[in-house]
Structure formats: structure tokens, C-alpha cells
A and B are shown apart, each in its own frame.
Chain A
Amino acid sequence: MKRFVSRILRPFVLLLAAGTPTCRRVVQQASQRFDSVTGTSIPLRTRAHLLICSACARYLRQLELIHEASGKLAQKDTSLSKLPDASRTRIKARLRCEKS
């Protein structure tokens, strides 16, 4: 039944989709939102595309998660690489030398 309804609705969805930007363009615009190149608002036709294209809507949500994660990256991954001990000793010696 679900398949039947989907088949019936498909031409209308395609007709609506034809009046909106392509997925490639929507994905490009999604990225631009984070760079203040053209502002942060989503154009109306793109919004219409996002209503009917679940893949693009997902892409936008996932980019928002990546954006949020990136902002926290500096605090989250300090345990992954450590200043080597030899370097630590060398830098301390250099600071002592500079102080005296």
C-alpha cells in the first residue's frame, strides 16, 4: 500500500523538485551557510527542496553536527598527542636560560 501511494505521489514530488535547486547546489549552499560568504539564511526554493529531499535534509543536519563538533575539537582531543619529555626538558631549559 505504502509503495502504491509512493508511486502515485512520485510525479507530483518530481514536479515540485523540478522547481527547486539540484541536490548538488543545495549541498553547496549548505556548506556556504557556515562561512558567512552569502549569509546564513536558506533561500526559499532550497527550503522547498529540503522538504521533499530527505538525503539533502540529512546532509544539512549532519553538517550542523560536524560544525558543532569542530567547535569543540580543541577541548576534546588534547589527550591524543603529548609534548615529548625530551622536548619538555629542552623547553624548560630554554626558558630558564631566557629568564636569567
Chain B
Amino acid sequence: MTETEPGNASAADAAIRPDPERWVDNHGDYLFHFALSRVRDATKAEDFVQETLLAGLRGMDRYQGRSSERTWLGGILRNKLLDHFRTLGRETSFTDLDFYADEEERAFENRAFPDHWNAAHAPSEWSAAGDALDREEFWKVFHSCSGKLPDRIARVFLLREVDRISSDEICATLNISPNNLWVMLHRARMALRRCLEIHWFNADTGDAE
């Protein structure tokens, strides 16, 4: 006999007890995508998914069912990624302050009024901005634009804007100064805004770089 015949108690237990293999089917894509968008390496992202689910399996008894399985597993993955970034922060210089510096200079290159918008770079009106978030195409462009950010900038941006982790925690995790964090976020936003303007909001006007 290989399996215990389920009695009433064990059947009820099974009903509320999560099945780790089912997690792979139900949450595997979500966790993989979450990890991939942050580490940008498919093999590493797969490892993170595996480590997350193994940690979930080991800590299953502590899962009280107060949050959804996905939220709970996402929390485990998030902590694992933060540990990973913490190690990276200790090992390497995490800043990437050159990113977009030239473009920022060009954006405010104005002989008559220094540090005011250069007419060619000033933000144009975004038509149909109101319903952009409801359109699938917008999300493809948004994802593509955020994917163009350099790794470190993207990591900082995702931690701050997507995961909504506080600036203080990001600075502590990545071992960077608040000012460097701020410059990286500022340039990430400028670059993302410009990319969206070109590839989504003005795509049909042919205003491409």
C-alpha cells in the first residue's frame, strides 16, 4: 500500500492544504514573469521560481490562508529577490548615473532660456491618455519601454514604482545614497516617458527616433 486511504479528517485537511505541484501550474507563469522582469535572466528567474516554491513547501504550515496563495508566494519571491539584490549591492557599485545624462542635457538645451525645455524635446500632448491603461497594446509598449532601461536602472525603478518599496529600504538594500537613487529614478522616468511618447502616444504621427 503506497497511499493512505483518506478518511473524513484527511479529506477535509486536503481540501484546505495547498498542493505545491499545483502551484507550478497556477502561479508558475506569474512568479516567473515577476522574477524575470527583475533579474532579466531566464535561468536565474527559473531558479527563483523553484526556490520560492520550495520555500513555500517548507513553510506551508505557516501559511494561514489569510492572503491568497499568489500573494503569499509572491511575498516569498520578493524577499528572495531583495536578498539577491542586497548581495549584489554589497558586491558591486549599483549606480548607473551616466544613463540618460546626455539626453537630459539635450532636453534642456535652450540658449535663450537656459535649463528650460528645448522645443524639440518638450513633452507633447498625449492623445487618448485617459483610456491608455485599458488597452492591451499600451501595456506591450510600456513593457517594451521599461525593458529598454539598463538593468540597474530598471531594477531600481521596478522596486520603487512597481513593488512600491520605500526609498529608504531600496537605499539600504542596494547600498546606494538617497541622491543617487533619486537621480536614477528621475532619469528612468524621463526615459520611459520619452519612449512612451514616441512608441505609443505619437506612434501614428511618425515621430520616431
Contact = CB atoms under 8 A, between A and B. Distances in A.
Contacts of A7: none
Judged by DSSP, the binding face of B is helix
A37 B34 CA distance: 26
Interface in A46-72: 53, 55-56, 58-59, 61-63, 65-72
A72 B164 contact: no
A34 B124 CA distance: 22
B161 interface: yes
A40 interface: no
Contacts of A25: 115
B193 interface: yes
Given A31-B185, A63-B193, A69-B142, A80 B133 contact: no
B116 interface: yes
B185 A35 contact: yes
A58 B123 contact: yes
Contact of A92 (B24, B122, B161, B197): B24
A1 to B, nearest CB: 23
B190 interface: yes
B115 A23 contact: yes
B60 to A, nearest CB: 10
Interface string B4-39: 000000000000000011011100111111101100
Judged by DSSP, the binding face of A is helix
Contacts of A81: 29, 32-33, 36-37
A91 interface: yes
Contacts, number: 151
Contact of B129 (A55, A65, A78): A65
B25 to A, nearest CB: 8
Nearest to B167: A35
Give the one of A37, A68, A71, A84 with max B CB within 10 A. A37
Contacts of A3: none
Give the one of B42, B138, B181, B193 with max A CB within 10 A. B193
Interface stretch (B48-56, B61-69, B79-87, B89-97): B48-56
29 contacts: A17-B113, A22-B113, A23-B116, A25-B115, A27-B190, A28-B186, A34-B160, A35-B160, A35-B182, A35-B185, A55-B117, A61-B129, A62-B123, A62-B129, A62-B196, A63-B189, A66-B189, A67-B161, A71-B162, A73-B139, A73-B162, A81-B32, A83-B49, A87-B49, A87-B50, A88-B25, A88-B28, A91-B28, A91-B50
The 7 closest A-B pairs by CB, nearest first: A70-B161, A22-B115, A83-B32, A55-B122, A31-B186, A83-B28, A24-B115
